[in-house]
A = this chain, B = another copy of it.
Amino acid sequence: MTRKQLFEKIKSKRSYLCVGLDTDPDKIPAHLHQSPDAIWEFNKQIINATREYCVAYKPNTAFYEALGPAGWGIIQKTIDYIGPDHFIIADAKRGDIGNTSRLYARAFFEQLSCDAITVAPYMGEDSVKPFLEFPEKWVIILAHTSNSGAGDFQQLELKSNMPLYEAVVKKSIQWGSPDQLMLVVGATAPDKVAHIRTLAPDHFFLVPGVGAQGGDLEAITYAGINASCGLLVNASRAIIYADNGPDFAEAAAAVAENLRNQMDPLLSNHGL
Give A residues with C-beta under 8 Å from B: 22, 24, 60, 62-63, 65-69, 71-73, 76, 91, 93-101, 103-104, 106-108, 111-112, 120-128, 142, 145-154, 156-160, 164, 167-168, 171, 213
Contact = CB atoms under 8 A, between A and B. Distances in A.
Contacts of A168: 153
A123 B149 contact: yes
Contact of A153 (B60, B98, B124, B146): B124
Contacts of A154: 122-124
A95 to B, nearest CB: 6
Across the A-B interface, give the 3 residue pairs with the lowest CB-CB distance, nearest first: A124-B149, A124-B152, A65-B107
B123 A147 contact: yes
Contact of A124 (B111, B123, B126, B150): B150
A76 to B, nearest CB: 6
A149 B164 contact: no
B156 A164 contact: yes
B65 A98 contact: no
Contact of A156 (B68, B128, B158): B158
Contacts of A151: 124
Contact of A152 (B22, B97, B100, B125): B125
Nearest to A75: B69
Nearest to A150: B124
A124 B22 CA distance: 21
Contacts of A164: 153, 156, 164
A94 B124 contact: no
Nearest to A101: B62
A22 B151 CA distance: 34
Given A122-B120, A153-B168, A69 B73 contact: yes
Given A60-B100, A120-B123, A124-B153, 15 more contacts: A24-B103, A62-B96, A68-B72, A69-B69, A71-B107, A72-B72, A93-B123, A121-B152, A122-B153, A124-B147, A124-B151, A125-B148, A153-B164, A156-B159, A157-B160
Contacts of A124: 147-154
A147 B124 CA distance: 8
B62 A68 contact: no
A121 B153 contact: yes
A120 B94 CA distance: 9
Contact of A158 (B66, B106, B112, B158): B158
| Max count, chain B CB within 10 A of own CB: residue among A71, A72, A153 | A153
Contacts of A120: 93, 95, 120, 122-123
Contacts of A76: 68-69
